[in-house]
Structure 1
């Protein structure tokens, strides 16, 4: 999926900045001219800025090579300082053809970009060792504005005999041999946003042609579980199942209400994790009306395909479904498990979830698993945490006390298979429990992380995160803060106790928020 998407992106870039609609948007506390792109994404903005710069340098016959910078968002191109005046002229002409902006990157933030189509701007930056060129990108409704964070830096390297020396530090090489011929290098070596399978290449030097030890080179898939709790057929099947859930939360309508969260969660993955290889949507033979199940890069998986014992179906227990995810045919060894109420709020990298040696990361929560044995007063997640704790205490002699944040769970199939064998009785019991029960274990959201940690295959991670309870009165204010700052890698819009009567009021707040935060349709939505 990601490789084909990257190839289409590379072919599209020259025409993206060649013309098209423009709009005046507010960014960096000023009015900016932006290019309107119906498929605007951070990766497209990064690639468009890089292409605009390299096309201008190519047209002027100026030699350059790409450098690995410190940010996955911005690209970096190196030019001999002797060609500075020619490069300025070429870039000024490019900014005049399609309105572009110039800034000088600073160690502690950037000054507001200035109009690159105004000659006086170039007078101000005449001696700058590094310039950032930005062509603003926005969606048709101007809700997403992609600016200097995704710009292209032009570094002016100084010549010392047969060596070019960088004007600032970078993670790979601060000098290159002038006599070394240029090479074509995969673009994925310069940003973790591009998957290693992508075929796009860029001009660089041999010093930048190797993969770093901390680069994640293996494929990573995403798995979602989803249910449409308003589907009449699904409701009839659920009503026909005998047995009463032990706790009100296990049967709460809030657990099965759909507010179109999945649509926007998929958009967040498309925007902020373009390195994902494939997406699997696990459902009870349900398909969202807006989803195109034939679109490349996504597959709808039935519960019947993954349950070892199909006789336990139908199930309405997320713990049971999560215990079977590793049985998905074709799933990569390393994958992320999303609930549909979890969203990426800004760009994330494979390294945020897995180390390059395959070790997974997990994200402990301040919330604690209560002491004691499971009881009818425990909410299902606490009961499952207590059962996990008993298994781990017996196996490793340690006492589990923390729950996990409601984030994408970084999982390994091999660890999940091992857990299925190591704790076979409670694993089978959880899979057979049609509703969340007191004997459940929570395999994907907790047990995997602790078991992998104790066996040397997982380590704690850290990402900026927040959770908003939809039934809480401060939710509108929290959503407004999220939208204004966009400073969380992950956020969760959780709900456990709302009723169908609450849905209309919640949608009045939630839908505008999600549509503003994620305005660009994903490739998996119907036209």
Structure 2
């Protein structure tokens, strides 16, 4: 997945958008529109609503439709790549398969590569217009076929990794034998029939809660309908906390709230600015984590103006709904709000907590955050928690970490030394419930702090993670990520590197100290960056 440079656009003849068929009844890449021709990429099809999962499914459906027109039997294989799909055909059908693939790629040019399972590195894809692409297909054990796709703004390029591989399985006695290893079996019954297999069997980027049009059940063999040791079948939800700091009613509640602010950062206006990051963070889940079951947005009776509340899969949860003690409201303290997240009705046992400035940066599987047995992963920072008790000079973050450390040392006899990175926090609902029961006074004190206070815990970003670890429900992990503070002089260059690379699993665009003079210039940069990085609206946008 890369960015697409500017290039000339031409129209593909004979496409019938919406039917899945082109001239002569041959299949076409789904939603194919204009195509671009560049020396680097070859043919690229423009597709509205583009996501990695949509590109993957479009390539698979286009290829299986070609096989269906030729009457070639096929079944889906549980391949080892999460990005693309794998289709098996019998070796005896090779001639018919190659003939129909050649016809399809002649009408709608794409890309082709021959996969040698024993080669030290994969072969590069070649445009199907190039005669070199066809030189070795006659004896190939595996072919990878794709139609490159981009969004209408040409910000994303979803290429060969989202293609569909055709494996030629050889008959040995009563079985068909695979040309390479997959996730389940080397052989299936040669005369066996197909059954439907859940989409999550064929990619870890898919769950049972992914919308069916993007992840339909696939025709496969019974041998693949096994629950493997590395499968994640439990639901994972996402939770956000969000505030619109420009809302007059919210401003009035804040002005009337009583409570002493001990540190300037605690009430900094930058902490409450809504830069529309939430819209793009939800887009990042739609694009790169379609396995999320439900998204909950926790607000102080606010609804983002862009949000559609009538689309399943996302719900507003108000402070009034989740706070056990109504006297703690209103609150303007994220620690307070986070201490109540596990009270969201219907929340899954396993969930990711996002600040609204956290984003998925590329397709990420749930395995990055949880093990198949349900153990959560946490991501310790390279920083260290300052030594000694809480001091008046501590930042709110350091004070909360010290409070966490003292309680956990008393309870478990272990000393925590590291805060967490700004990566979505993988949490266990049961661990938070137990932590609240084990430390009722500290939990209630944090809940009652209207602004960040010296006595706060940091429930989600540290305490609950370490509590889960010390009770056997979490373990340390690592992932490629970027933390970017917006109040830096080279913000434009850093955003451009992040956009060009697209090589981080997650990233955070944090803002705690920007001045009003900074915000306008930052917003212009952010608008361009976020629109380019996440060009596809989620279903939850108006």
The answer to whether TM tops 0.5 is yes
Deviation at 1:13, TM superposition (A): 8.6
Partner of 1:181: 193
Q: Tell me if structure 2 keeps the 8 A contact 1:22–1:33.
A: no
In structure 1, the partner of 2:321 is: 305
Give 1:466 deviation, angstroms. 1.1
Given that 2:111 and 2:128 are in contact with CA atoms closer than 8 Å, whether structure 1 keeps it comes out as: yes
Instruction: Say which is worse superposed, 131-140 or 426-435, in terms of deviation.
Output: 131-140
Instruction: Write the distance in 2 (CA, Å) between the matches of 1:18 and 1:404.
Output: 42
Does residue 362 in structure 1 map to residue 372 in structure 2?
no
User: Which residues of structure 2 form unaligned runs of 5+?
Assistant: 1-17, 22-27
The alpha-carbon distance between structure 1 residues 108 and 326, as it changes in their structure 2 partners (threshold 3 A), is: farther
Match of 1:145 in 2: 157
Other structure's SS at 2:278 match? helix
Aligned to 1:170: 182
* Counterpart-to-counterpart distance in 1, 2:482 and 2:68: 45
Structure 2 match to 1:69: 79
The superposition leaves residues 476-526 of structure 1 with CA deviations (integer Å, 9 ceiling, x where unpaired) of 222111111111000011111112221111012111111100001111110
In the TM superposition, what are the counterparts of 1:63-142 in structure 2 within 5 Å?
63-105=73-115, 110-117=122-129, 121-142=133-154
Q: Is the 8 A contact 1:317 1:436 kept in 2?
A: yes
Give the alignment's Cα RMSD to 1 decimal: 1.9
- Distance in 2, matches of 1:120 and 1:60, equals 25
TM-score normalised by length of structure 2: 0.91
Indicate the residue corresponding to 1:515 in structure 2. 531
Matched, 1:191 2:207: no
Aligned 8 A contact 2:20 2:31 in 1:
no
Aligned partners of 1:486, 1:108: CA distance in 2, in Å?
25
Cα drift, residue 118 of structure 1: 5.3
> Which aligned pairs between 1:345-384 and structure 2 lie closer than 5 A?
345-384=361-400
Aligned to 1:215: 231
In the superposition, relative to structure 1, how do residues 22 and 378 fare at CA in structure 2: closer, same or farther (>3 Å)?
same
Mapping of residues 113-512 of structure 1, within 5 Å: 113-117=125-129, 121-197=133-209, 200-512=216-528
* Greater Cα offset, 379-388 or 88-97: 88-97
- Cα distance, 1:239 vs. partner? 1.4
Question: Alignment partner of 1:402: what SS?
Answer: coil
Bigger shift: residues 174-183 or 253-262? 174-183
Determine if contact 2:113/2:133 at 8 Å carries over to the other structure. Answer: no
Deviation digits for residues 234-268 of structure 1 (CA, Å, limit 9, x no counterpart): 11211112333111111111111121111110100
Following the alignment from structure 2 to structure 1, what is the Cα–Cα distance between the partners of residues 194 and 524? 56
Q: Unaligned 5+ residue runs, structure 1?
A: 1-11
Distance 2:328 2:460 in 1: 19
State which drifts further: 147-156 or 228-237. 228-237
SS for the counterpart of 2:382 is strand
Asked whether the 8 Å contact 2:114–2:136 carries over to 1, the reply is no
CA deviation vs aligned residue, 1:348-388 (integer Å, no higher than 9, x gap): 11221112222111111111111111112111111110000
Cα distance change of structure 1 residues 51 and 477 upon mapping to structure 2, 3 Å threshold: same
Task: State the shift of 1:32 in Å.
Answer: 2.7
Counterparts of 1:512 and 1:213 in 2: how far apart (Å)?
Answer: 43
1:117 is displaced (CA, Å) by 4.8
TM-score, normalisation: structure 1: 0.94
1:8 equivalent in structure 2: none
- Relative distance call for 1:337 and 1:13 in structure 2 (3 A) is farther
Matches of 1:87 and 1:122, distance apart in 2: 13
Q: Residues 19 and 406 of structure 1: is their aligned pair in 2 closer, same or farther, counting only changes over 3 Å?
A: closer
SS at match of 2:135: helix
The one of 44, 60, 67 equivalent to 1:57 is 67
Which deviates more, 263-272 or 82-91? 82-91
Aligned to 2:9: none
Distance 1:494-1:25 versus aligned 2 partners, 3 A rule? farther
Residue 39 of structure 1 is matched in structure 2 by 49
- Paired with 1:51 and 1:369, the residues of 2 have a C-alpha distance of 52
Partner-residue secondary structure (3-state), 1:398: coil
